[in-house]
Copies of this chain bind each other. A is one copy, B any other.
């Protein structure tokens, strides 16, 4: 007999989604993880996703290749320079934005959910330290849930109502780090940097590194990340 409910978890190998996996595990879901290789510069993130799954445990882990470079429009997939040391308070959407990224990622996750018979989807979207991405906001997540109910056989024929869990939505980076640390996440296994050095050290200056460094500082927890020289760490 197996009463464990399956869930589909979007796992990037970053700090946020590792925390999400730990939360879903604590909530007793059987976690099926999906990592999307969308031609991002930071391939080390894919290796991080495997380390995180090995450390936290999961029922399955799939890596789906999707070459978004053909569509372009983002510094994470094109040869545009990654912005450094931007002011955190800027309202501008940075050029690391991938067009319709979360619509795409959640649609893939929805496909996985249908295959494994899950109605619970988990994503590490965050509306506080979200770098200005619109597809990390509650309005988007609500609209996606309504769309999902009509998009699949399970939803349209069998009345399955999908729920997009975004347990980090209202948390600051420091709160995320505290929560994950309580749940035993080893953040030394995770990867955040958009622009690693040739030796795969984090740059310490891209948006993602800045958020991560500030998060550990504010949480009062030592940052296990190995940064390139000259970050002041």
Contact = CB atoms under 8 A, between A and B. Distances in A.
A4 interface: no
Interface SS, A side: helix
Contact of A153 (B93, B151, B157): B93
A97 to B, nearest CB: 6
A67 B93 CA distance: 29
Interface string A136-159: 010110011011111111011100
A110 B101 CA distance: 10
B99 A104 contact: no
Nearest to A67: B65
8 contacts: A93-B153, A99-B112, A100-B108, A103-B110, A103-B111, A135-B152, A140-B147, A140-B156
Given A72-B115, A135-B156, 5 more contacts: A64-B70, A99-B114, A104-B108, A134-B150, A137-B156
Interface of A: 34, 62-68, 70-73, 93, 97-104, 107-108, 110-112, 114-115, 134-135, 137, 139-140, 143-144, 146-153, 155-157
